[in-house]
Chain A
Amino acid sequence: MSKVRVLVGTKKGAFILTSDGKRDKWEVSGPHFTGWEIYHLKGSPADPNRLYASQSSGWFGQIIQRSSDGGKTWETPGGGMQMAPGGMPAGESNKFVYDTSAETGRPLTTHQWYDGTQHPWEFKRVWHIEPSFTDPDTAYAGIEDAAIFRTTDGGKSWHELPGLRGHGTGPKWQPGAGGMCLHTIILDKSNPQRIFIAISAAGAFRTDDGGKTWKPINRGLKSNYIPDPHAEVGHCVHHIAMHPSRAGVLFMQKHWDVMRSDDAGDSWHEVSGNLPTDFGFVIDVHAHEPETIYVVPIKSDSEHFPLDGALRVYRSRSGGNEWEPLTKGLPQSNCYVNVLRDAMAVDTLDSCGIYFGTTGGQVYASADGGDNWSPIVRDLPAVLSVEVQTIL
């Protein structure tokens, strides 16, 4: 019997929602890590019981949690398990220190601050953890201030891939309203050397050599809020999605504009089409229909809630441009929540399930590709992220 596990990160803890393949009855586990911000948690494709969680706090900083039993129990890898030569346990799992080694030839630079001055890179938190397709002990972390780190020992230690931060445009990167975060990491199952990432507000980048070197992939993006709307970097990319079977076809929700690339990001064109507003945060792709994509339009960059107080998911079955509102089961009046960038996911059951969480604490699910929606839970803390595991 297939099973679905929905991993929900919130402002005050993590929750795990489970159901069988019918997806009509749910069990709720949590809060885990009560009182902490859980920016993201995600399961390993290579071992569904291996989960990683990013736990953080303005007071106490960053913690990495790991589960080996599908979220029933958790541990801080390296925090008491791994013994240093002196017999003391070594705690490295939350150590995200920028690479300033001479070997990289990439000294730590400064980046652009909100007022245009240069500002030192400072680690704040992990926004996103992306486990490897093939190895449960390998995962990538996207952090604020923007950089990408990798663990190959199950989260005990993390090391920067410094070629991204140091490739030359770093001094032009600037924080978005939420900070200068690396929030999107997409691995390419068909090409292990290729990784896509996105940073607010720097834009999208790609490596084709396993993370040694990176290039900006922002041609075609137009951002009227920066001095040069067509600049190589400086774009506030909110999220990117890619269907696993269509490597190189990317869909982007930018600050404003929904964009598409058919050449792995080398060029982009707008597919906002008939959307009532093309501002938003989330974007995702149907599990079995690579041209079916979903967004949740938000009124504007200064009014982070749905247009007219009506929560509507928009679906395009043509890879963009032609969009239809999906409203059945969603509140159509007096709804002023937001749906944050990592808070939408899909399952891979035959009838594809779509899930998203709101800043009002609801997690909505559709077991029929978006035609009908119902809340799994309604009163969680503000939802920061939603991921789904389909366990067959």
Chain B
Amino acid sequence: MIVVVLPQHLRTLAGVPGDVRLEVKGQATLGSVLDALEDRFPMLRGTIRDHGTLKRRPFLRFFVCSEDWSHESPDTPLPAEVTSGKEPFMVIGAIAGG
């Protein structure tokens, strides 16, 4: 069970009140948790990763166990703290705007 923390706008879009809990088959990686998230909430496709390139959108970052995973490869396995649900996988929007 992986806990995913989403920015408020994406929670609204997905229609979820809080954190999302996901089951990921096999070895959970940065990419596979995003695949599972988009499979369950297809309206989120394109909002975190570009549709065509699957690259992370520039104003979003990924955090795992208080570390910035934004530039990690999609194939990087997530640590046990995250795959066990003890620590969340966090999608965070840049603090900017108007």
A residues at B contact (CB < 8 Å)? 34-36, 57-63, 76, 78-80, 88-98, 123
The minimal Cβ–Cβ distance linking A277 to chain B, given in whole angstroms, is 28
Q: Are B42 and A80 in contact (CB under 8 A)?
A: yes
Residues in B80-98 with C-beta less than 8 Å from chain A? 93-94, 97
With A80-B43, A88-B39 as contacts: A61 and B93 at CB distance below 8 Å:
no
With A94-B51, A95-B51 as contacts: A57 and B9 at CB distance below 8 Å:
yes
Which of B12, B39, B47, B94 has a CB less than 8 Å from the CB of A61?
A: B47
Q: Are A91 and B42 in contact (CB under 8 A)?
A: yes
Q: Are B42 and A88 in contact (CB under 8 A)?
A: yes
Q: Are B44 and A91 in contact (CB under 8 A)?
A: yes
Identify which of B38, B41, B45, B59 gathers the most chain A CB atoms within 10 Å of its CB: B45
Interfacial chain B residues near A59, Cβ < 8 Å: 7, 9, 57, 59-60, 93-94
The count of residues in chain B whose C-beta lies closer than 8 Å to any C-beta of chain A is 25
Interfacial chain B residues near A88, Cβ < 8 Å: 39-40, 42
Check: B65 CB closer than 8 A to any chain A CB: no
The minimal Cβ–Cβ distance linking A107 to chain B, given in whole angstroms, is 15
Interfacial chain B residues near A57, Cβ < 8 Å: 9
Q: Are B43 and A35 in contact (CB under 8 A)?
A: no
With A57-B9, A59-B59, A123-B52 as contacts: A89 and B47 at CB distance below 8 Å:
no
Q: Are B46 and A61 in contact (CB under 8 A)?
A: yes
Q: How far is A80 from B43 in the complex, measured between Cα atoms in Å?
A: 7
The minimal Cβ–Cβ distance linking A389 to chain B, given in whole angstroms, is 26
The minimal Cβ–Cβ distance linking B2 to chain A, given in whole angstroms, is 18
Q: Are B13 and A63 in contact (CB under 8 A)?
A: yes
The minimal Cβ–Cβ distance linking A353 to chain B, given in whole angstroms, is 32
Q: Are B51 and A60 in contact (CB under 8 A)?
A: no
Q: Are A63 and B43 in contact (CB under 8 A)?
A: yes
Can you list 20 A-B pairs with a CB-CB distance of less than 8 A? A59-B57, A59-B94, A60-B9, A60-B60, A60-B93, A79-B43, A80-B42, A80-B43, A88-B39, A89-B42, A91-B38, A91-B42, A92-B45, A93-B43, A94-B43, A94-B46, A94-B47, A95-B46, A95-B51, A123-B51
Identify which of A60, A96, A97, A123 gathers the most chain B CB atoms within 10 Å of its CB: A60
The minimal Cβ–Cβ distance linking A240 to chain B, given in whole angstroms, is 30
Q: How far is A92 from B45 in the complex, measured between Cα atoms in Å?
A: 8
Q: How far is A258 from B39 in the complex, measured between Cα atoms in Å?
A: 49
Closest to B47 in A: A60
Interfacial chain B residues near A78, Cβ < 8 Å: 42
Q: Are B42 and A97 in contact (CB under 8 A)?
A: no
Q: Are B45 and A95 in contact (CB under 8 A)?
A: yes
Identify which of A58, A62, A93, A98 gathers the most chain B CB atoms within 10 Å of its CB: A58
Which of A58, A91, A98 has a CB less than 8 Å from the CB of B43?
A: A91
Interfacial chain B residues near A94, Cβ < 8 Å: 43, 45-47, 51
Interfacial chain A residues near B47, Cβ < 8 Å: 60-61, 63, 94
Interfacial chain A residues near B93, Cβ < 8 Å: 59-60
